[in-house]
Amino acid sequence: MNATEMIVEVAYALPHEQLIVPIKVNNGITAEQAIKASGMLAKFPEIDLAVNKIGVFGKLTKLDTPLRHLDRVEIYRPLIADPKEVRKQRAEEGKVMKKGGGDAPPEA
C-alpha cells in the first residue's frame, strides 16, 4: 500500500448473513464509490442506494462523504417492524421486556 491508498470496509447484514468486505482504495474516495467498488451492489441486488441509508461506524452519513483509512461503511436495511410499535404492543399485552429480548422469566 502506498501513500495514496487506504483500506476501508463495506458491511451489509441480512438476518442470517453478514458480509464485511475490506477493499484497498485511493485516498479521497467517497462512501458511494467504496460501496460500488466492494461489489455489494452486484451480490445483493435488493440494495438501492436511493432508498437504503448508510453510515460509517453506526453514524448515519451521506453517499458523498469522503472516507478515511480503516473506515467501515455500513449499508442499512429498512426495519421490518417499527420498534416503537413493538414496544407498544408488548405493553398492551402485559409482557415484561428484559435486556436481550426473549421471554421474561415467570414471576414467583
Whole-angstrom Cα distance, residue 6 to residue 71? 9
Q: What is the pLDDT along the chain (108 residues), one digit of tens a residue?
A: 788 899 999 999 988 889 999 999 999 999 999 999 999 999 999 999 999 999 999 999 999 999 999 999 999 987 776 778 778 888 888 765 556 555 555 665
**Closest among 61, 64, 70 to 24, alpha carbons compared:** 70
Whole-angstrom Cα distance, residue 104 to residue 95? 8
DSSP designation for 78:
P
Write down the residue that cell numbers 429480548 correspond to. 101
Q: Can you list the domains of the chain with their CATH numbers? A: 5-75 (3.10.20.280)
